[in-house]
């Protein structure tokens, strides 16, 4: 048993989709989240930059005495998961494995699509993960560089967002997919527009929500569950605009019972050992 919080990191707002699912599924657990909106989007960054930034965020969360780290960002998962699992003495989970497994389970025709950032697509992490588990799957990936900014700028419910999504998804290389992975934790906030663009017959996979199930399983396996009488607390940090982050977080999380704080990016490097 451990009453320490669970830490989550993301390039910005997107990881809140993981946090929302986790806090609902694990009502006695407490969470500390950091979103690096000041340096977002990660998908357009170099691999070296993404690794550096993720290490800084992870080090900050470790300083908050967390019992488990969730890389709630597909781009960061693809580039840093294995190394962080080696470097840290706490459990580290990413968001790609859960979505890949569920996509294989859901598909009927073996045609799986992946929407992600350019960096995640370039890493080929989803394709490798799926192919290793089920070699006969046909995987088609599409980089959607504009989607993240629609969310970060709080335009994800706008008519403009609907237009961007529709035009982007016309570029899907395989129009016969029956399963589509939302391979960025920002993308579930655009799920309604995405579903409309691809049609009702395509099953959307929210890897972030599925990761929440994995968190619970790992806590149980390692004996790290919080005592049932613990009061859940949620603390959110952002490197970006606190007012905008607060507005989106409060609306998406449907809660005002959260502490939202600012942390300058200049301070983050001091946490790296």
Per annotation, catalytic residue among 32, 57, 103, 184: 184
Residues of the chain with CATH 3.40.50.1860: 6-94+209-271, 96-207
Per annotation, catalytic residue among 73, 84, 98, 103: 73
- Cα distances from 252 to residues 34, 138, 152, 209, in angstroms, run 16, 33, 12, 14
The alpha carbon dihedral of 140, 142, 147, 152 has a sign of positive
101 closest CA partner among 189, 190, 214 = 214
Rounded Cα distance, 70 and 86, in Å = 14
pTM score, whole prediction: 0.92
Record the tokens describing residue 234, joined without a space.
Answer: 């949620």
Look up 229 and say whether it is catalytic.
Answer: no
In 3-state terms, what secondary structure has residue 31?
strand
Which class is 96-207 in CATH? alpha beta
141 closest CA partner among 168, 114, 123 = 114
Structure confidence at residue 255 (pLDDT): 74
Structure confidence at residue 73 (pLDDT): 94
Structure confidence at residue 231 (pLDDT): 79
Q: Which fold has domain 6-94+209-271?
A: Rossmann fold (3.40.50)
DSSP notation for 64-113: TT-SEEEE--HHHHHHHHHHHHHH-SS-EE-SHHHHHHHHHHH-SSSEEE
Instruction: Write the pLDDT tens digit of every residue in 166-224.
Output: 999 999 988 899 999 999 999 999 999 999 999 999 999 998 778 999 999 999 999 99
Look up 73 and say whether it is catalytic.
Answer: yes
Instruction: Write the pLDDT tens digit of every residue in 39-53.
Output: 988 888 999 999 999
Instruction: Write the pLDDT tens digit of every residue in 117-129.
Output: 999 999 999 999 9
CB 185, CB 208: distance < 8 Å: yes
């Amino acid at each position: 048993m451990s009453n320490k919080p669970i830490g989550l990191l993301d390039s910005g707002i997107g990881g809140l989709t993981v946090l929302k699912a986790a806090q609902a599924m694990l009502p006695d657990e407490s969470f500390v989240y950091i979103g690096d909106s000041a340096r977002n989007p990660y998908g357009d960054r170099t691999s070296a930059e993404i690794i550096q930034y993720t290490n800084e965020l992870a080090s900050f969360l470790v300083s908050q005495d967390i019992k488990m780290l969730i890389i709630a960002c597909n781009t960061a998962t693809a580039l840093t998961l294995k190394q962080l699992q080696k470097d840290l003495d706490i459990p580290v989970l990413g968001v790609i494995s859960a979505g890949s497994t569920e996509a294989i389970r859901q598909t009927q025709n073996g045609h799986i699509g992946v929407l992600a950032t350019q960096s995640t697509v370039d890493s080929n992490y989803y394709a490798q993960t799926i192919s290793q588990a089920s070699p006969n799957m046909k995987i088609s990936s599409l980089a959607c560089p504009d989607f993240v900014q629609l969310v970060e700028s709080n335009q994800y419910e706008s008519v403009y967002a609907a237009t961007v999504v529709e035009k982007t998804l016309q570029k899907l290389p395989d129009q016969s997919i029956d399963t589509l992975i939302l391979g960025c934790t920002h993308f579930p906030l655009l799920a309604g527009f995405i579903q409309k663009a691809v049609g009702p017959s395509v099953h959307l996979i929210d890897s972030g929500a599925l990761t929440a199930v994995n968190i619970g399983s790992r806590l149980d396996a390692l004996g790290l569950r919080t005592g049932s009488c613990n009061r859940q607390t949620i603390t959110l940090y952002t490197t970006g605009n606190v007012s905008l982050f607060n507005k989106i977080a409060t609306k998406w999380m449907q809660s005002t019972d959260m502490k939202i704080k600012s942390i300058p990016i200049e301070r983050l490097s001091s946490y790296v050992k």
